[in-house]
Amino acid sequence: MMDNSRNPLPYGNVPQPIRKDGAGATDYGPRDVMRDLENPDMFIPPITDAGTIPNLKFSFSDTHMQLYHGGWAREVTARELPISKTIAGVNMRLTPGGIRELHWHKQSEWAYMLYGRARLTSVDQDGRNFIADVGEGDLWFFPSGIPHSIQGLEEGCEFLLVFDDGYFSDLSTFSITDWFAHTPKDILASNFDVPESAFAHIPNKQRYMFQANVPGSLESQKVSNPYGTVPKNFTFKLLAQKPLVTPGGTVRIVDSSNFPISTTIAAALVEIKPGGMREMHWHPNNDEWQYYLTGTGRMTVFAASGSARTFNYRAGDVGYVPFAMGHYIQNTGNESLWFLEIFKSNRFADVSLNQWMALTPKELVQDHLYVGPELMNALRKEKWPVVKYDRNLNTPE
Ligand code: MN
Ligand code: MN
């Protein structure tokens, strides 16, 4: 080590864990300055933070990247983020023509297209088939156990997969090549009523993902089917949906009420504009799993019993809020903060602190909080999921 290694890094260039009130002290290191810069509110938490709330953040940048000819995949499951018991997420890229092979799994699959376009195929338990192309801002849902495939079109694609079980791994799904590789040839021959020679060149193990040619037109790939197509659409145009617009941003909600096939996953696509804040609220149905799409923000989670903890998030991060815990999310940057709120539920549901107070007898609320007409007259009976945050009010401790 160099002689100056015991000198603290200078003020001005790097943050030091010292609050405005003087609490804390310089950090001599070892330290990861880049991480400290990315997490200013974890490095110097608000004075209102307290207690032992477990970790509620994991970045896809800290995962094991699986590289294939045809694309890549990486996942955040309960293995990476132990509190995430309800949902596992996979970030996947497919090249033009790249195929995520024909497979199925015990969990339902919900997905949001981040970039490019893909072709999906599926067949349900009644022999009804499905084929569709999806683009940026579209989503899909495959019910548990239903087989499917994904293939990148001309521009390739990248998407987020969400599974309704935190212990799911996309690396342990049921794959067509895996089953063929682990079935004796005489069984295959009998099953399909062909000679064993028909299987002379099958892969000897699971392929998972591989490069192929960009498929022809959707029309050219449709397979005529005496049983017809699946009765409920497996895809939904979420970004194209007209949003709920409030002064701080926009919200688009998708669940089984407007996307009937999605019976186990509910979601909200939220935009928090610069200077906006997802209001103080909680969810009465289940844990919340978050995926940050753009920008930077911070979330504080209130866990009762005097506990609260703040986390910084940025594009590519996963966030988590355990069932019923109060929380709010601020946009801390100069661009819109877009993120997905995902729930293992058939319906999206949230309770607004503001609306709750507005619809409760005034005297009752006042007697709790020692507040006057200034607050009581400002309460809103209408729910505004995203409100404005007045940066002039920011008085870091
Ligand atoms: Mn799948
Ligand atoms: Mn929430």
* CA 171 – ligand 2 centroid, Å: 29
- For residue 194, count other CB atoms closer than 10 A to its CB: 11
Report, as residue numbers or ranges, the catalytic residues.
341
131 falls in which pLDDT band (50, 70, 90)? very high
Please check the confidence at residue 343 and state whether its pLDDT lies above 80: yes
Average pLDDT over residues 47-52: 97
* CA 4 – ligand 2 centroid, Å: 46
Q: How is 44-70 classified by DSSP, letter by letter?
A: S--TT-BS-PPP-EEEGGGS--EEETT
Mean pLDDT of the chain, nearest integer: 95
- The whole-number pLDDT of residue 245 equals 97
Give pLDDT tens digits for 294-319.
999 999 999 999 999 999 999 999 99
9 falls in which pLDDT band (50, 70, 90)? low
* CA 173 – ligand 1 centroid, Å: 7
CB-based contacts of 372, cutoff 8 Å, min separation 6? 366
Given the candidates 2.60.120.10, 3.40.50.150, 1.20.1050.10, 2.60.40.10, the CATH classification of the domain at 59-178+206-236 is: 2.60.120.10
- For residue 6, count other CB atoms closer than 10 A to its CB: 9
Residue 262, judged by CB atoms within 10 A of its CB (0-12, 13-18, 19+), counts as buried
260: left (phi over 0), alpha (psi -120 to 50) or beta: alpha
- The whole-number pLDDT of residue 2 equals 43
Ligand nearest to the CA of 145: 1
CA dist., res. 275 & res. 391, Å (int) = 7
Q: Do domains 59-178+206-236 and 242-393 have the same CATH topology?
A: yes
8 falls in which pLDDT band (50, 70, 90)? low
Q: What percent of the chain is predicted at pLDDT more than 70? A: 95
Please check the confidence at residue 207 and state whether its pLDDT lies above 60: yes
* Signed CA dihedral, 212, 66, 123, 154: sign only: negative
Give pLDDT tens digits for 163-189.
999 999 998 999 999 999 999 999 999
- For residue 183, count other CB atoms closer than 10 A to its CB: 13
* Signed CA dihedral, 88, 140, 270, 281: sign only: negative
Read off the DSSP letter of residue 229.
Answer: B
13 falls in which pLDDT band (50, 70, 90)? confident
- The whole-number pLDDT of residue 49 equals 98
* CA 138 – ligand 1 centroid, Å: 16
- For residue 263, count other CB atoms closer than 10 A to its CB: 18
Query: Does 242-393 carry CATH code 3.30.1050.10?
Result: no
11 falls in which pLDDT band (50, 70, 90)? low
Read off the DSSP letter of residue 231.
Answer: S
| Contact present, 170 and 150 (Cβ < 8 Å) | no
Token pair recorded at residue 327: 């929380």
Global pTM value: 0.94
Q: What percent of the chain is predicted at pLDDT more than 90? A: 93
Token pair recorded at residue 186: 């005489």
- The whole-number pLDDT of residue 3 equals 44
Ligand nearest to the CA of 163: 1
| Contact present, 300 and 310 (Cβ < 8 Å) | yes
Token pair recorded at residue 105: 């799994």
CA dist., res. 39 & res. 314, Å (int) = 10
Domain ranges of the chain: 1-38, 59-178+206-236, 242-393
CA dist., res. 108 & res. 264, Å (int) = 7
- The whole-number pLDDT of residue 12 equals 62
Ligand nearest to the CA of 170: 1
* CA 117 – ligand 1 centroid, Å: 17
